[in-house]
Structure 1
Amino acid sequence: MATTHASAPQGRESECCDHAKGRGARSGHRRSGRSHRAGRPADGGHEGPARAEADWFGPRQAEWFTRLRREHGNLRPALRFCLDTEGEAAAGLALAITPRHYWLTFGSLSEGRHWLSRLLDAERAQGTDSDVRAPALCAYAYLGMLQGAAQDTLPVIEEARSVAERHGDRSALAWTRHPLGALASFRGELTEAATLFDEALTAFRELGDQGAAVQCAFKLAITAAHLGDLERATALCRDHEAIAAAHGDRWVRGLTVFARSLVSWHRGETGDAARRAREAIRLMPHPTCALRTPPTGLRKPPRPKSG
């Protein structure tokens, strides 16, 4: 559980948490977050985080990356306020996962897990069951999996699945398959990984979430390539690179180009593989910025308490 900080600020942070809570629909709640930035709206109004989420898969991605990185220091006191204020944990969770891959993009995996763990525990202690909990659990599980906390990942994803089913959240259900697919891939269970990525890809296509679909597609392509299905891997990369390019996206497009470089390498086409790898690096400026993220001094986050 979180520790209580004396005299938590009661000004604009409170207004912003009110905004995060009062969304009316789950997607609005999840996307309502980061405009507060300890009371300083990112774009002069509360529409900032919703726009960041909507624009993340598009031509304004680099602009939002720069803006959110510049304001990162203001996010911490707002999250702390939500953590320390009764009834605001769900609002804090919404802030912490908007945009969805915020912590991953900035290379701040430990800090992201730190806040999500404490906010998830706080929400449970407050006896609430918000519809932002399932996406937050998925985000926490994926960050943990990337840090090698495989044993912690499975029960967190199971809780996310249960919460998503209870709320009828098809998007969160699809996202539960994503970290499971990655975990299976890391374990060398490639057939299982391919099945999970394929299920997630199909679900996101049905939901019309093309950004999420492209993310699953390039992971499925890499898995298919390792399984020897180079034709399918090539088709997945080609089709979804085109989708990302049409949206003006650079980050996911770059990852898809990188996946295609691996396919070329599997084919023995080393020249083409090197060319595509260089193109992927050119398209993805974000990781170079993330590598410069200063240390936070935060301890390794605990796993959220299970019910």
Structure 2
Amino acid sequence: MASDSEVRRRPLTSYVSRTDDENEVRRLLGAGRLVTLTGAGGVGKTRLAAQVASSLTREFPGGVAVAGLGELRDERLVARTVADSLGLHDTAGRTDLEAVVSYLRPRRSLLLLDNCEHLLSGSADLVTALLRDCRDLVVLATSRCSLGLAGEHVLTIRSLPVPHEEIGTPQEALTFGAVRLFAERASNVLSSFEVTEGNVADVVRLCRRLDGLPLAIELAAARIRALSPSQIADRVERNSGVLTTGLRMPVERHRTLRATIDWSHSLCTETERTVWARCSVFAGQFDLSAAEDVCAEDGGLDSLAVLDAVDGLVDKSVLTRIDGTDRVHYRMLRLLRGYGGRRLADSDDDFAVARKHRDHYARLIAQAADTWFGPGQDETYERLTAAHADIREALSWSLRTSGESPVALEMATGMIEYWVARGAAWEVRDWIDRALDAVPPETRGRARGLAIAALCAALHADLPRARQRLAAAEAIEDHEAVPYIDHARAFVKMLATEPNSMAHAAEAVRIFGERGDVRRQMHPMFLQGVALAYRGDLPGARELLGSMRRLCEEAGEERYRSMALFGLGVAEVCFGGDLGDGEQFIRSALEIDLRASDVLSAAYRVDGLAWVSARRGEWVRAAELFGTAATLWDRCNAEPDVAVSATHTTFYEATRKALGAAKFDAAFTEGRRRNPHDALTGPQALPVGEPAVLPPLTPRESEIARLVAAGLSNREIAARLVIARRTVETHLQHISHKLDFVNRTQLAVWVGQRDACRGPL
């Protein structure tokens, strides 16, 4: 067994360098604005692209972003995925594509689009629009075929180099990338493994038989605990004639990879094969409960058998284990997922398994609706975020499958708070609209769906569409939909500054209250309270918003409590109330948002504190706070929308007029440099130096990696850095791509090794 010091010295896993390919990719990126890496599946395009991208952070001061398309099965979501990778919220009147263009246009950035081959049309359309409108953007794509665009530089990636058969010593063999990869992956499985004089010939024979394909080598290396290199090579050679039967791709490397996957499949137990096929229905990562729901069956596999099979598939590298903060998840590579999908289709179980998959995620959303208003909200949000790719897939399957669209409508309308918190209100609006178009006119819940669709349209200030949806909802006699219609009607009237907003909001609050639906009372209660303040009834606004606050506190709910506090603050600051109380309410709301890393809400709150300073005549402080708020708006590519735009503009212009342009701009710029926490504690001195970057990570990735190593959760990291948890998750995905790590422990050890080698500053 290796000593502790030996474990610390030995890398957990590493990228096998392809110096010539890396240099050529860099050269092409310097010569053009679109470079596509093509090649057989499993040849290592993603790792090569990530390695090159991570080395170019200095050349692209606007940032290097990675958008993985492997989990998508819907062309319509390509732009949304890129927006997610940039941490962008959608905003009123702007589509996902428009948001991405707006963010990237002024920046010199590199965008890595990974796994485009199954979404060629959507990928090509996106890249065309981005390169047309963002003059300083460069795109690096990976795909099994080119995007077919003018000006595209295409580089075909070959397998790792393999030795000649007569190679002599282990040292000579390890100069070839294929042998190094096998040795490293095998030692990860069996720590005592190394290439020796006794096994070097068999390792070379195996790598040559596998044509140097990285994925094939990794699958073979996973068997080293049970088989020697000689036994693995013998089995690959013995089965090669059978393994290639039925293959339609004539390319030898494709045939080799298929042979290796077939061989891995043949070594699985019958139960493992079944679970492999059924788990291919998952689009993204999944936990054990999802695997059990999808794979178990009455009179067949029970939950224990599924657990055993999942464990076996992890051991064989068919499934990758991903450690989370509270539960383990699993992921299957796209190639292995596609292979399992073909096996599933051959078994005629594909429809039943897809329905089980959809039902699992429909239940997940229903459970989230029940637990959202309470202390488990953060955990609920994280579970939905982890399941996001499969929620999309469940919605898509329901929409394309006859008779299933009503379930899609129920899923899409069940938890709009999650989509809004994620910054994806446009996406859920699209799912609801598609479901409404697909369901029969007599579908139960259609009126409620139309009302929620109207509310979503109003969130984007699309009042004509909102009114159209409301009219359609009102034309259906459905008592169950009445409070939803009143809620949407109140919001539309408030945004349009029309009368009777308060009456509709009050009616929605009353009916939801009678039904015991406290969660759905919250937003109309907020609207009613703000409407009372607008009408001059400050005591009424205080009482109602105070009641909303108390309901949230009693339930242990935070997001709506922040909304209630902000409403109380706005009422006091903007409608003649106590300025000190108003400031404290807004500060309390900001404290919640910073803990929850809700960047968009924090932007509203910091902007509100700027209003307080402006009311006091503290003009420099107001300008600084407007600058801090502007940084937050920029982080999620948003701006003060129609809900607060008039108040924002009034105080902003008053501050600029009081200071004059030069003094305002100086204070505003100073505020932009400040951490939003300073709005709570007063400005602090900026740090003199930053911790050293950990190549190949960017400065921000290095910062997050060190916080992971310090034991902080994603939520704690987001709160510390004042970024959204989704942004932390995106950075960790980038780090995982670059370092080939699958859990936080590996990353923590790696950080410790790097910092130990660097020594004191």
Cα distance between partner residues in 1 of 2:645 and 2:505: 28
Given that 2:590 and 2:602 are in contact with CA atoms closer than 8 Å, whether structure 1 keeps it comes out as yes
Whichever residue aligns with residue 569 of structure 2, its letter is G
Corresponding residue SS for 1:44: helix
TM-score by length of 1: 0.60
Structure that is richer in helix per residue: 1
Residue in 2 that maps onto 1:162: 550
Give the 5 Å matches for 1:67-216. Answer: 68-76=463-471, 78=473, 85=479, 87-88=480-481, 91-92=484-485, 95=488, 102-108=492-498, 110-124=499-513, 126-185=514-573, 186-216=575-605
Given that 2:586 and 2:605 are in contact with CA atoms closer than 8 Å, whether structure 1 keeps it comes out as yes
Corresponding residue SS for 1:141: helix
TM-score by length of 2: 0.27
Give the 5 Å matches for 1:8-47. Answer: 19=410, 23=414, 27-28=417-418, 43-45=433-435
Offset at residue 213 of structure 1 (A): 1.9
**Candidates 256, 261, 265, aligned match of 2:653:** 261
Cα distance between partner residues in 2 of 1:54 and 1:206: 29
Offset at residue 226 of structure 1 (A): 2.4
Cα distance between partner residues in 2 of 1:117 and 1:81: 22
Structure that is richer in strand per residue: 2
Corresponding residue SS for 2:434: coil
Cα distance between partner residues in 1 of 2:502 and 2:556: 25
Given that 1:237 and 1:257 are in contact with CA atoms closer than 8 Å, whether structure 2 keeps it comes out as no
Offset at residue 89 of structure 1 (A): 5.4
Cα distance between partner residues in 2 of 1:246 and 1:258: 23
- Structure 1: state its 5+ residue gaps: 1-14, 57-63, 274-307
Given that 2:602 and 2:632 are in contact with CA atoms closer than 8 Å, whether structure 1 keeps it comes out as no
Offset at residue 170 of structure 1 (A): 0.4
Residue in 2 that maps onto 1:225: 614
Given that 2:549 and 2:561 are in contact with CA atoms closer than 8 Å, whether structure 1 keeps it comes out as yes
Offset at residue 131 of structure 1 (A): 1.4
Alignment size in residue pairs: 239
Cα pair distance change 1:183/1:235, threshold 3 Å? same
Cα distance between partner residues in 2 of 1:77 and 1:95: 13
Corresponding residue SS for 1:132: helix
Cα distance between partner residues in 2 of 1:105 and 1:208: 27
Cα pair distance change 1:263/1:145, threshold 3 Å? same
Given that 1:36 and 1:78 are in contact with CA atoms closer than 8 Å, whether structure 2 keeps it comes out as no
Cα distance between partner residues in 2 of 1:163 and 1:209: 21
Offset at residue 143 of structure 1 (A): 2.1
Whichever residue aligns with residue 120 of structure 1, its letter is V
Corresponding residue SS for 1:208: coil
Corresponding residue SS for 1:45: helix
Cα distance between partner residues in 2 of 1:102 and 1:55: 6
Output one character per residue of 1:102-129: Cα deviation in whole Å (capped at 9) or x when no partner. Answer: 5443323x343232211222233x3423
Given that 1:22 and 1:29 are in contact with CA atoms closer than 8 Å, whether structure 2 keeps it comes out as no
Cα pair distance change 1:228/1:250, threshold 3 Å? closer
Output one character per residue of 1:62-101: Cα deviation in whole Å (capped at 9) or x when no partner. Answer: xx434x433414314526868x61x54564566568xxx6
Cα distance between partner residues in 2 of 1:259 and 1:190: 15
Corresponding residue SS for 1:131: helix
Structure 1, 256-265 or 134-143: larger mean CA deviation = 256-265
Whichever residue aligns with residue 166 of structure 1, its letter is E
Cα pair distance change 1:102/1:209, threshold 3 Å? farther
Cα distance between partner residues in 2 of 1:219 and 1:200: 10
Indicate the percent of aligned positions where both proteins have the same amino acid: 13
Cα distance between partner residues in 2 of 1:145 and 1:115: 16
Whichever residue aligns with residue 656 of structure 2, its letter is S
**Candidates 65, 68, 79, aligned match of 2:461:** 65
Offset at residue 238 of structure 1 (A): 0.6
Whichever residue aligns with residue 261 of structure 1, its letter is E
Offset at residue 261 of structure 1 (A): 2.4
Cα distance between partner residues in 2 of 1:107 and 1:265: 28
Offset at residue 243 of structure 1 (A): 2.4
Corresponding residue SS for 1:65: coil
C-alpha root-mean-square deviation of aligned residues, in Å?
4.5
Offset at residue 228 of structure 1 (A): 3.5
Cα pair distance change 1:221/1:190, threshold 3 Å? same
Cα distance between partner residues in 1 of 2:567 and 2:475: 27
Offset at residue 137 of structure 1 (A): 0.9
Cα distance between partner residues in 2 of 1:91 and 1:260: 35
Structure number with larger C-alpha Rg: 2
**Candidates 614, 624, 628, aligned match of 1:235:** 624
